[in-house]
């Protein structure tokens, strides 16, 4: 229950900040560059630099750092599993051994590296959704994919699907929370027992949730059809996108930081 109340994935926080005013295409490209930079870095001494960059961007966006960090809550379990796999399966100089389990120095380094990469991946992506509305994301993705349209690539359809998926994540979380509260009020026990018992206890939650998902999808399709939606061909926009000098400067700064990080990593290693 508390886990559901602290989810920020897919949420948009409106604010009057420099980051919010950037063109969505700039923010999408900058996020892709940052994610590439995170995976290019292999030296653990450089990851504090990414943390400082995350804090700086959060301050520029006027979004509390705690809210940004909460976007990583859904992947904490995945990060821990990934780290444990690398700790126990990476070969190298043994640090600790107990039966068939062996922890190596190389495994600890690899586990730390992969865990930090996954965390920064989610955190930077979370900053993108927190500072960009679903409509802006849709327009930005469609404009970025537009050069592929002559090749038969469904730019508008793909952008619309991704936007709808992001938009409905908070809605589905609210529905899940409401169903769980209703089940708890009826005497259901969702927080006790082993993993098998908990999974069985969640069946009364999953069944109505799937029903609600299909119902909302049908309602959305009916509403779009009633309003004459026929895809992106010939559609106009109320707020057209404009690439300004600040967008180019911001993207160039991010790319420069990524290149500097990659160069520093090569120099340190």
The pLDDT value recorded for residue 42 is 87
The pLDDT value recorded for residue 2 is 45
The pLDDT value recorded for residue 120 is 92
What's the 3-state SS for 178-223?
HHHHHHHHCCCCCCCCCHHHHHHHCHHHHHHHHHHHHHHHHHHHHH
The pLDDT value recorded for residue 231 is 67
* Same domain for 11 and 60: yes
Per-residue model confidence as pLDDT tens for the chain (269 residues) = 444 445 555 678 888 899 999 999 999 999 999 999 998 888 888 899 999 999 999 999 999 888 888 888 878 888 888 888 888 777 777 777 776 677 787 788 888 888 899 999 989 988 998 898 888 888 888 888 888 878 877 777 787 787 787 777 777 878 888 888 887 777 776 666 666 676 777 777 888 888 888 888 888 888 888 887 776 666 666 677 888 999 999 999 999 999 999 999 888 87
Q: List, in sequence order, the alpha helices (H) in 90-187.
A: 105-131, 134-145, 155-185
* Same domain for 111 and 30: yes
* Same domain for 152 and 91: yes
Structure tokens at 138: 């849709």
Neighbours of 37 (CB within 10 A): 24
Q: Could you give the C-alpha distances from 81 to 27, 77, 118, 147, in angstroms and in order?
A: 30, 6, 12, 39
Cα–Cα distance for residue pair 250/27, rounded to 1 Å: 9
The pLDDT value recorded for residue 109 is 83
* Same domain for 196 and 119: no
The pLDDT value recorded for residue 35 is 92
pLDDT digits (tens, 9 = 90+) for 187-208: 776 666 666 676 777 777 888 8
The pLDDT value recorded for residue 1 is 44
The pLDDT value recorded for residue 3 is 43
Structure tokens at 127: 């900053």
Nearest partner of 38 among 253, 265, 248, 269, judged by Cα: 265
* Same domain for 139 and 175: no
Q: Is residue 162 part of a domain?
A: no
Q: Is residue 237 part of a domain?
A: no
**8 and 130 Cβ atoms separated by less than 8 Å:** yes
* Same domain for 259 and 210: no
Q: Could you give the C-alpha distances from 119 to 74, 77, 134, 181, 246, in angstroms and in order?
A: 10, 11, 23, 30, 28
* Same domain for 219 and 95: no
Q: Which domain holds residue 253?
A: 1-157+244-269
The model scores a pTM over 0.95? no
Cα–Cα distance for residue pair 47/116, rounded to 1 Å: 8
* Same domain for 135 and 40: yes
**54 and 123 Cβ atoms separated by less than 8 Å:** yes
3-state secondary structure of 103: strand
The pLDDT value recorded for residue 57 is 93
* Same domain for 172 and 41: no
Q: How many domains, in total, are found in the chain?
A: 2
């Amino acid at each position: 229950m508390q886990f559901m109340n602290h989810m920020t994935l897919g949420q948009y926080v409106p604010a009057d900040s420099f980051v919010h005013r950037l063109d969505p295409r700039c923010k999408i490209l900058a996020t892709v560059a940052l994610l590439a930079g995170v995976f290019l870095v292999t030296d653990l001494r450089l990851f504090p630099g990414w943390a400082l960059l995350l804090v700086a961007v959060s301050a520029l966006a006027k979004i509390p750092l705690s809210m940004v960090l909460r976007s990583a809550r859904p992947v904490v379990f995945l990060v821990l599993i990934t780290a444990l796999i690398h700790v126990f399966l990476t070969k190298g100089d043994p640090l600790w051994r107990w039966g068939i389990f062996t922890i190596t120095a190389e495994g600890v380094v690899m586990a730390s590296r992969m865990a930090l990469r996954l965390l920064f991946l989610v955190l930077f992506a979370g900053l993108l959704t927190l500072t960009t509305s679903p409509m802006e994301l849709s327009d930005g993705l469609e404009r970025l994919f537009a050069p592929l349209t002559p090749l038969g690539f469904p730019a508008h359809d793909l952008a619309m699907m991704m936007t709808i998926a992001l938009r409905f994540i908070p809605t589905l979380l609210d529905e899940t929370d409401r169903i769980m509260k209703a089940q708890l009020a009826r005497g259901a026990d969702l927080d006790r027992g082993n993993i098998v018992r908990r999974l069985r206890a969640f069946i009364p939650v999953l069944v109505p949730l799937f029903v609600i998902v299909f119902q909302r999808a049908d309602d959305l399709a009916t509403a779009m059809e009633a309003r004459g939606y026929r895809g992106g061909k010939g559609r106009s926009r109320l707020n057209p996108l404009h690439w300004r000098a600040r967008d180019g400067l911001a993207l160039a700064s991010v790319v420069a930081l990524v290149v500097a990080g990659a160069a520093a990593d090569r120099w340190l290693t």
